Amino acid sequence: MNGQRGQALPLAIIALAIGSLVVAPFLGYAGTDLIGSRVYGEAIKEQSAADAGIEHAVWSLVNGDLAEQLSQPGDEMTYQLDETINGLAVDVTVTANATGGTAGEITDTVIDTLEFDTANGYEPSMINITGDIYAIAYRGPGSDGFLKTITIDGEGEIGNSTIDTLEFDGSAGYEPCVIHITGDVYAIAYRGPGNDGFLKTVTINTNGGIGNSAIDTLEFDGSDGYEPSIIYVSGNVYAIAYRGAGNDGFLKTVYIDADGHIGNPAIDTLEFDTSSGYEPSIVLVSGNTYAIAYRGAGNDGFLKTVYIDADGHIGNPAIDMLEFDNSNGYAPFLINVAGDTYAIAYRGTGAAGFTKTVTIADDGNIAGAVIDSATFDSPGYEPCIINVSGDMFAIVYRGPDDDGFLETISITSDGDIGAVADALQLDTSSYDPVIISVTDGICDIAYRGPGSDGFVKTAGINAAGGAATYEIQAAAGGTMIRAVVSIDNGAAAIISWQVE
């Protein structure tokens, strides 16, 4: 701040000398009540000095880092100009009313960090419990399955330690995926002992307390259960997409009641790809229609739609199919954009990170061609994408040199993909990152970081953009100027101006 004040002050003085200020003719707002009065000379000195304070604040908001320090509405900064003006000290207070800015703009640094496991934090899966309470399921020390709870407040501040811990599988807990059932009951699908597919239910209360043991367990596949992705269907019915025997793609439906009891056996099974079904990502399309993105034959990227009724019965065969990338489609992450438009983030040719958009109708019919395609980075491993607000989306991934990155892009409801809006390097090592929203403009990223430890970080994203507004007060002698200024894309404009 000191350096910026030193640079701005000469500009303000020069502007005053020639009777023109940098942003706007602020003095025109002063009125002429003092003209001809016996206190005119002193008053104009004070008013000119206070006006220079307003000018300095505006300059710092537009050209300096003051706006970054006032990143949230209500944030306030008070300082004094380094040099006197007309022999008067000038005190300035700036308060953020609405921070505005450019849509997709990311804060220059992370907000907060917690190392939730100092030994291992592989393949984290994260979910909000309620309010400030979050849970992370992951593969920890000894490749066992762990569940931990933490706090993250609405400003992105993370509690200094975890709340509670449960080792939900003491043998193996690979690639866990956690989902809310109802009340305090949660389910975790994962690859357990012998690489079999397992499903366990646990309790997590609203304070983050975890039950001392699992409620129930189902071995949903006694052969293989790699990379399970679980989704709610209807009532007590849930579906799990995973890579099973022979690396084929499988879909199973299971029963979980409100108390966490799991039905045995599974309700129904569909082998949705008899060749390969790596890293499936499943989403609801509409009604009984679901879509699965996965890496199939030849490591190509595939998208299939399937039918699952309310009782868990799965239609056979699949409804429709699209090969969205005929070269590579590693670790695809599927998300709805709007209406019948969907986006897939994945690692494609040359290990580059791609985003593609497709059309899926409510009945499961997939349009025969990709709508749009964009590269977000190269390399772009293990991407995870979420909607921030409107057309703005955020992607976390492992990029160049295995560093962790957060990027924002726009995707319209028609599937048009914009250029990267902003990017932030999260860490010098970041594997298996996942991202969820905390509040509007705040996101939470869990990943395996340096030393293979488990980390959580929060970052701010300007979701909607638009003009930022600030109230600026500058006092010199007995005169106070109070101004409200809007700043949009580097241009400042006066909303109101008052001399007191």
pLDDT digits (tens, 9 = 90+) for 387-414: 999 999 999 999 999 999 999 999 999 9
Question: Are 125 and 433 a contacting pair, CB within 8 Å?
Answer: no
Give the closest residue to 320 by CA, choosing from 337, 299, 348, 342. Answer: 342
pLDDT band at 466 (very low <50, low <70, confident <90, very high): low
> Who wins on pLDDT, 14 or 344?
344
Tokens of 481: 């100027």
Query: Phi and psi (nearest 5°) for 232?
Result: -75, 140
pLDDT band at 441 (very low <50, low <70, confident <90, very high): confident
- Read off the pLDDT of each residue in 215-243 and give the average, rounded to a whole number: 98
pLDDT at residue 25 tops 80: no
Distance (Å) of CA 109 to CA 112, 423, 425: 9, 11, 8
pLDDT band at 467 (very low <50, low <70, confident <90, very high): confident
H or E element, residue 124: strand 122-130
Is the sign of the CA dihedral 301, 305, 311, 315 positive or negative? negative
For residue 98, the model assigns a pLDDT of: 67
For residue 41, the model assigns a pLDDT of: 73
CA gap 44, 280 in Å, rounded: 71
Write down the mean pLDDT value for the chain: 91
Question: Are 139 and 174 a contacting pair, CB within 8 Å?
Answer: yes
pLDDT digits (tens, 9 = 90+) for 103-117: 788 987 899 999 999
Question: Are 90 and 475 a contacting pair, CB within 8 Å?
Answer: yes
CA gap 372, 149 in Å, rounded: 39
Residue with tokens 């977000």: 376
Question: Are 186 and 179 a contacting pair, CB within 8 Å?
Answer: yes
- Read off the pLDDT of each residue in 480-495 and give the average, rounded to a whole number: 88
Distance (Å) of CA 245 to CA 49, 221, 225, 300, 486: 78, 9, 8, 19, 60
Least confident of 71-75, 170-174, 217-221: 71-75
Residue with tokens 């220079």: 52
For residue 108, the model assigns a pLDDT of: 77
pLDDT at residue 19 tops 60: no
CA gap 5, 8 in Å, rounded: 5
CA gap 199, 214 in Å, rounded: 10
For residue 40, the model assigns a pLDDT of: 63
Give the closest residue to 156 by CA, choosing from 201, 114, 118. Answer: 114
pLDDT at residue 57 tops 70: yes
User: Which parts of 197-321 fold into alpha helices (H)?
Assistant: none
pLDDT band at 37 (very low <50, low <70, confident <90, very high): low
- Read off the pLDDT of each residue in 162-173 and give the average, rounded to a whole number: 98
Give the CA angle between residues 421, 425, 427 to the nearest 5°: 155
3-state helix, strand, coil in the chain (%, to 5): 15, 55, 35
- Read off the pLDDT of each residue in 8-19 and give the average, rounded to a whole number: 42
For residue 364, the model assigns a pLDDT of: 98
> Who wins on pLDDT, 98 or 123?
123
489: left (phi over 0), alpha (psi -120 to 50) or beta: left
pLDDT at residue 36 tops 60: no
Residue with tokens 């970081």: 449
pLDDT at residue 21 tops 80: no
Pairing, β 404-411 against β 417-427: antiparallel
For residue 300, the model assigns a pLDDT of: 98
Give the closest residue to 34 by CA, choosing from 15, 24, 47. Answer: 47
User: DSSP string spanning 412-433?
Assistant: -TT--EEEEEEEEEEES--EEE
pLDDT at residue 248 tops 80: yes
Domains located in the chain, CATH noted:
2-100+481-499 (no CATH), 119-381 (2.130.10.10)
Bridge partners (DSSP) listed for residue 199: 189, 218
Tokens of 255: 């029963």
For residue 38, the model assigns a pLDDT of: 47
For residue 496, the model assigns a pLDDT of: 87
pLDDT band at 39 (very low <50, low <70, confident <90, very high): low
pLDDT at residue 191 tops 80: yes
CA gap 136, 447 in Å, rounded: 10
pLDDT band at 9 (very low <50, low <70, confident <90, very high): very low
H or E element, residue 10: helix 2-17
This prediction's pTM: 0.80
Q: Which residues contact 21 (CB under 8 A, 6 or more apart)?
A: 12, 15, 27, 51, 55
pLDDT band at 70 (very low <50, low <70, confident <90, very high): confident
CA gap 49, 31 in Å, rounded: 16
